[in-house]
Structure 1
Amino acid sequence: MRRLSIPEDVTGLELDKAVRQELQSLPKTLADDVAKNLVMVARLLDEDAPRAYEHAKVALRLASRVGAVREAAGFAAYHTEKYQEALAEFRTARRMSGRPDLWPVMADCERGMGRPERALAMAGEPEVQRLDKAGQVEMRLVAAGARRDLGQPDAAVVTLQSPELASTAVHPWTARLRYAYADALLEVGREEDAREWFAKAVEADHEGLTDASDRLAELDGIEFTDALDPDSEEIEGDAADEVEEDAEAAAEVSGADFTDEDDPAVDDDEEEDEDGDEPRA
């Protein structure tokens, strides 16, 4: 089996205590290898999902009977849009652990596989009542997304309306909930309300989880220029050239040399001289 490169600073001790306890059922050397690959999955999941998926597959081959490994493999597949594979891993992990918290992401896998009606059915299952507040909010987000998948944007707006949305308290899920509500409002044509909720999402999004600030600026008609965009540099260069050309033209006009022929005042003076009048001091 091909081994993947792992930085020397990765020890495996970075994992949660509960995960490390699950790995204690393995021989120590094997447990260390699995732990290091799981750490790499967590590190790479958001910035390089394909590489995270490779590390998850290694861990899965080494320890397929560990629930935490199946869960990590599920999230790695989910982030690479392998929804059928992700759902299978999540189901296995849920059977092994008995925990309900994977229910919302399992429903979202159904959406990813083009089955929003299945996701809605899962949102109505008793299993949802076993979720903590964060899990219930996540389930609400998935259900609203399923409504929009089905072409029911008004129903999506209603689905997101909840005590959690109305609360002024800020939780880890607050920004995403407010953002989803703003986006749903925008789809049904309620632009002013959408702007208000994008602004509220910005207030709660301390970690930059959404692009609410960009969406708000877009509604306000503000355009940002990417300093690293070569196209924007070309536009700026053209504008600078135009300014330079205008400056040169202005300089030519201000420095022009008028001859006596062009100056009517000189003509008048010359005529007076010819009549014998003394020139004016």
Structure 2
Amino acid sequence: MTGRLLDDDPQQALAHARAARALAGRVGVVREGAGLAAYAAGEWSEALSELRAARRISGSPEHLAVFADCERGLGRPERALAYGEDPQVAQLSQDQRVELVIVLAGARRDLGQPEAAVLALQDPARRTTERRPWAARLWYAYADALLAAGREGQAREWFARAAAVDVDGETDAGDRLLALEGVVLDDGDTHGDGDSDGDVPRSDLPTDAELAELVQGIPPLAAGTPAFASEDGIESAEAAVARSAEVEGASGPPPGPVAPPPFAAPPASPTGEDDELRLFD
């Protein structure tokens, strides 16, 4: 139950986790669940206490990044940085190391050290390729650190890379990139009062009379001209594509260069394989 509620209702998940802890406080997975629920609910001290207990029981260092982030939440970035020197860092998987280095970079920024945050993320970000599952989060964190350090041009590049691989919408890299380009996103508030009323007419839309005049100006199809229809009244998708290709071939390609797609992903590694990501060497 705690796991199912963790994303949607962290407070309720924490209540279930506390109940489970009261019944089975010596079970590592129960203490781990309670710690993660407390972390999701923003109860930093409780999360630290529960996850430390889980670590004593299981011996696993897998949540070092959560420990460090809790220290940041408690306003203790110096203690957060100490987790980068933990003897068990070498036992972390690569994705766990990435999460830890992102948190440690955040601690550097908490201490007013934006350039140190950039340096912490620079090597991992450059070594990571787009096929890595953590690429979007790592590249986003690196772009954010670059922006905080005043390197706007480089930040644009890395926000674009993050947006290109963030198919699950883990970050708002696309919105951040648009903001840097000066694009203002319309939130639907046309009155400036925080209210969006769809019944209020907009002056920038054409009137009914103007629409009728536009429609009258469109020449009708010549008699007998098929409009995406075959003998049985339905044209297959393959036939439609083929006919469109014939029309395009007859008229020739459109003039001018073709614009590249927005947020183009970075090129793959020339060797065809991901570079090894090394952290804390």
Tell me the TM-score normalised to structure 1 length: 0.67
Alpha-carbon distance, 1:238 to partner: 6.3
Q: Is the 1:140–1:160 Cα contact (8 Å) retained in structure 2?
A: yes
How far apart, CA to CA, are the structure 2 residues paired with 1:195 and 1:237? 38
Q: What is aligned with 2:107? A: 146
The equivalent position to 2:56 in structure 1, one of 85, 95, 99, is 95
Q: Does 1:56 align with 2:47?
A: no
Count residues with an aligned counterpart: 210
- When the two chains are superposed, the root-mean-square deviation of aligned CA atoms in Å is 2.8
SS at match of 2:187: coil
1:154 partner amino acid: E
**Distance in 1 of aligned mates of 2:142 and 2:34:** 31
Contact 2:109 2:117 in 1 (8 A): yes
2:135–2:165 contact (8 Å) kept in structure 1: yes
**Aligned residue type for 1:41:** T
Question: Match for 2:51: what amino acid?
Answer: F
Under a length normalisation based on structure 2, what TM-score does the superposition of the two structures give? Answer: 0.67
Counterpart mapping for 1:14-29 below 5 A: none
Cross-structure match for 1:206: 167
CA contact under 8 A between 1:56 and 1:76: conserved in structure 2? yes
2:80 equivalent to 1:119: yes
Q: Over residues 208-248 of structure 1, what are the superposed CA-to-partner deviations in whole Å (9 max), with x where a residue is unaligned?
A: 11111111111122222235999576587767157689x99
**Paired residues of 2:2 and 2:14 also in contact (CA < 8 A):** yes
Question: Do the aligned residues in 2 keep the contact of 1:165 with 1:177 (CA within 8 Å)?
Answer: no
The yes-or-no answer on 1:134 pairing with 2:95 is: yes
Question: 5+ unaligned residues in a row in structure 1: which ranges?
Answer: 1-39, 249-281
Q: Decide which of 226, 231, 240 is 2:202's aligned counterpart.
A: 240
Choose between structure 1 and 2: higher helix proportion.
1
SS at the partner of 1:178?
A: helix
Cα separation, 2, equivalents of 1:132 and 1:164:
16
Q: Residue type matched to 1:219 in 2?
A: L
Q: Which residue pairs with 1:224 in the alignment?
A: 185
CA distance in 1, matches of 2:182, 2:197: 19
Higher relative contact order (CA 8 A, sep 6+): 2
Q: 1:243 to 1:233 in 2, by over 3 A?
A: farther
Per the TM alignment, residue 41 of structure 1 is displaced from its structure 2 partner at its CA by 1.8
d(CA) in 2 for partners of 1:62, 1:228 = 50
Does structure 2 retain, via aligned residues, the 8 Å contact 1:147–1:156?
yes
Residue 163 of structure 1 deviates from its aligned partner by: 4.0
The code of the aligned residue for 1:42 comes to: G
* Rounded Cα–Cα distance in structure 2 between residues aligned with 1:224 and 1:237: 21
Q: 1:188 to 1:68 in 2, by over 3 A?
A: same
Per the TM alignment, residue 183 of structure 1 is displaced from its structure 2 partner at its CA by 0.4
Deviation at 1:197, TM superposition (A): 0.3
1:65 aligns with 2:26: yes
Question: Which has the higher Rg, Structure 1 or Structure 2?
Answer: 1
Q: Which of 99, 103, 120 is the aligned partner of 1:159?
A: 120
1:185 and 1:194 in contact (8 A); partners too:
yes
CA distance in 1, matches of 2:14, 2:23: 14
CA distance in 2: counterparts of 1:238 and 1:189, whole angstroms: 42
Secondary structure of the 2:98 match is helix
CA distance in 2 between counterparts of 1:103 and 1:72 reads: 15
